[in-house]
Structure 1
């Protein structure tokens, strides 16, 4: 654990200040969109593989397993995000490919339940407020989206965190 993360919360309030450390937030918005595209492709491939597995399970269970098709994509996306974003790397594979990492407002890495809430809040807010969810990042000093602000998370450059 670095010295920055070992200090009390009150001393860390400026740890992710975009004026003091602009390298943490440079190009985050663009790379985050590309990371999302990579993750959508990964979830689609995993959903296809799970769909094939459920097809064969349905044959053996006389069609009972085929009821899982109703929520297969959502379940795969939720599990994918909970265990990758909430894992030790604090990033989905798409985020890692783009050099991004998520942290809580005080520097801790997200945990699986928070990661699951993050993706659920993203999809609910995106369904209700489509343009506004993305427009919030244009006015946010840390380039955060609406669900990031609500949950107190930050997406930053991974290299800037290690410097």
Structure 2
């Protein structure tokens, strides 16, 4: 596992090891697409159950489909990104993980909030979050900056 942070001897402040950021932007995008596929596959069994339930209730349960994908995605984020490895399956496959600037572990609540902000900001301004990484020395997206996190190499 790569050393995520180094201590600046002059100031005593935590600083990010530049080697931990090599190739993070590309790995993060590819990891996102893998996670998107995984969440889609994980949504199939609950969708089938909900479809049967919708038939039994003569269509009354159909509106619940609107909550299916977000619910599966949040549970996925809470268990993976908020878990001990601090990364989703797609992130692990790409060799990156989420790290907090203060050095503490990412908890399930922060992992869910990270995902919600990613989708909320990305929906409002599609390219804005990615564009910010080109100007951020730590290759952080807007929701990373707001939550005090960054993505580093494992």
Shared fold per TM-score greater than 0.5: yes
Unmatched tracts of structure 2, length 5 or more: none
Partner residue in 1 for 2:48: 52
1:155 corresponds to 2:151: yes
- RMSD of the TM alignment (CA)? 2.1
**Quick check: 148-157 or 65-74, which moved more?**
65-74
Partner residue in 2 for 1:136: 132
As a proportion of its length, which structure holds more helix? 1
1:106 Cα deviation from its structure 2 partner: 1.6
Q: Is the 8 A contact 1:12 1:106 kept in 2?
A: no
Structure 1 stretches (4+) deviating beyond 6 angstroms? none
Q: Determine which of 16, 19, 23 is the counterpart of 2:19.
A: 23
Partner residue in 2 for 1:69: 65
1:110 corresponds to 2:106: yes
Deviation per residue, 1:75-120 (Å, 9 max, x gap) = 1112211221111110000001111111110222210110111011
Q: Give distance in 1, aligned partners of 2:37 and 2:129.
A: 22
Aligned residues: 147
Partner residue in 1 for 2:37: 41
Unmatched tracts of structure 1, length 5 or more: 159-163
Deviation per residue, 1:41-87 (Å, 9 max, x gap) = 00111112210121223344554443321221111112211221111
